[in-house]
Amino acid sequence: MTFIATPQTKDHVRWRDMSAARRKEAILGYLFISPWLLGFLMFVLGPFIASFYLSFTTYSILQPGKWVGLQNYTRALSREPLFWKSLGNTAYYVIGAVPLRIILGFILALLLNVQVRGLTLWRTLFYVPSITPLVATTVLWLYLLNPKFGLINYALSLLHISPVPWLTSPKWSKPALILMSVWWVGGNMVIFLAGLQGIPQHLYEAAELDGANALRRLWHITIPMMTPTIYFNLVINIINTFQVFVQAFIMTDGGPLNSTRFYMLYLYDNAFRFFKMGYASALAWILFLIILALTILLVKTSNRWVFYGG
């Protein structure tokens, strides 16, 4: 847990060993954090447990529902083709978008880290798309991706590539959304840039004296030193892209032919269009377990490639 800056004081003093002043301090401490503590109980832990319970029932907002055991889970896994379809769509999107976003974010950060002039300006230019409200961005991209008069097909036509049907074709709809996700790579870039600037300069100087060229310096210094940052961005990007929702909801509503029916869309439909809230809760738990498993997998494999030497 390297990320927690530890205060100088220790907290594990037993209550009865405390002086009156320390007790008073402790009570005040709980009071100060009480908004979060209450919020945690009401809006995180409570819903979390409730969701687990609901996932074993046929609850809907319209009727109380009854206990059905594991039926919601077995139904999702064995009798709902759309479950697997939506999971497959989401995996496609994650596998397509995450590496692109990591690699492009890293390349941009590398370019900005070569003592360029006007660093702030460049950084701003690449970061601006990331601050545009998602709904407005989505509306803009509906237009950009329009097969007949959109700018993207126009750019392709300049390269003599025939028009792509993008959101109207089951084959191209996911690549279209992946392309769009690359546009807001600015956040990754900023985090990578901060990481790059933290690499001690003397490592490069030493390597240069040894005659290592730029490519070798990148491979033997920059990338190993950046693995913690790459790892962090990887985890965050996977968790976020796994929950892709707004773009698909607005642009395609899952279509064409369910090709953009992502997992969150499928979950939302069941919960709020069909009011199958018990089933939707089971879906939420399956999602949670998948994300948990992925995170654990990343944590477990991290010691093989993440370098915490610096």
Partner 1 sequence: MGAATQTKPRRRSMGKLWRRRIGLGLTYLTLATLSVIFLIPLLWLFTSSLMPLSQIGKWPPQWIPNPVQWGNYTKALKFWHFGRSFRNTTIITVFSMIGELTSCTLVAYGFARLRFPGRDTLFIVLLSTMMLPFAVRMVPMYIGFSKLGWINTFLPLIVPTFFGNPFYVFLLRQFFLTIPDELVDAARIDGASEFNIWARIILPLSGPAIIVVAIFSFQAAWNDFIGPLLYLNDERLHTLALGLYTFTAMPGQGSLYNQLMAASVLMVLPMLIVFAIFQRYFVQGVTLSGLKG
| Dist CA 48 CA 45 (whole Å) | 5
Q: Which stretch binds partner 1 (CB under 8 A): 14-22, 76-84, 92-100, 169-177?
A: 14-22
204 is an interface residue for partner 1 by CB under 8 A: no
Site map (CB under 8 A) of partner 1, residues 213-242, x = contact: -x-------------xx-xxx-----x--x
Number of residues counted as binding partner 1 (CB under 8 A): 106
Among 84, 219, 274, 288, binds partner 1 (CB under 8 A): 288
160: left (phi over 0), alpha (psi -120 to 50) or beta: left
For residues 100-159, which are near partner 1 according to CB under 8 A?
108, 111-112, 114, 116, 120, 122-129, 131-136, 139-144, 146, 148-151, 154, 157
For residues 289-308, which are near partner 1 according to CB under 8 A?
291, 295
Amino acid letter at 195?
G
Q: How is residue 164 annotated by DSSP?
A: P
Q: With beta carbons less than 8 A apart as the criterion, state whether 73 and 286 touch.
A: yes
Listed residue (280, 284, 272, 278) closest to 64, CA to CA: 278
175 is an interface residue for partner 1 by CB under 8 A: no
141: left (phi over 0), alpha (psi -120 to 50) or beta: alpha
Cβ-proximal residues to 292 (8 Å cutoff; 6+ apart), any chain: none
Question: In sequence order, what are the beta bridge partners of 57?
Answer: 67
95 is an interface residue for partner 1 by CB under 8 A: no
Q: How far is the CB of 81 from partner 1 (least distance, A)?
A: 21
Q: Which is nearer to partner 1, 91 or 246 (CB)?
A: 246
Q: With beta carbons less than 8 A apart as the criterion, state whether 167 and 145 touch.
A: yes
Listed residue (15, 233, 212, 4) closest to 109, CA to CA: 233
Q: How far is the CB of 138 from partner 1 (least distance, A)?
A: 8
Q: Which is nearer to partner 1, 29 or 99 (CB)?
A: 29
Q: How far is the CB of 306 from partner 1 (least distance, A)?
A: 9
For residues 34-93, which are near partner 1 according to CB under 8 A?
35-40, 42-44, 46-48, 50-51, 54, 59, 61
103: tokens are 């690699």
7 is an interface residue for partner 1 by CB under 8 A: yes
Question: In sequence order, what are the beta bridge partners of 67?
Answer: 57
211 is an interface residue for partner 1 by CB under 8 A: no
Among 65, 147, 175, 187, binds partner 1 (CB under 8 A): 187
Q: With beta carbons less than 8 A apart as the criterion, state whether 237 and 98 touch.
A: yes
Q: How far is the CB of 92 from partner 1 (least distance, A)?
A: 19
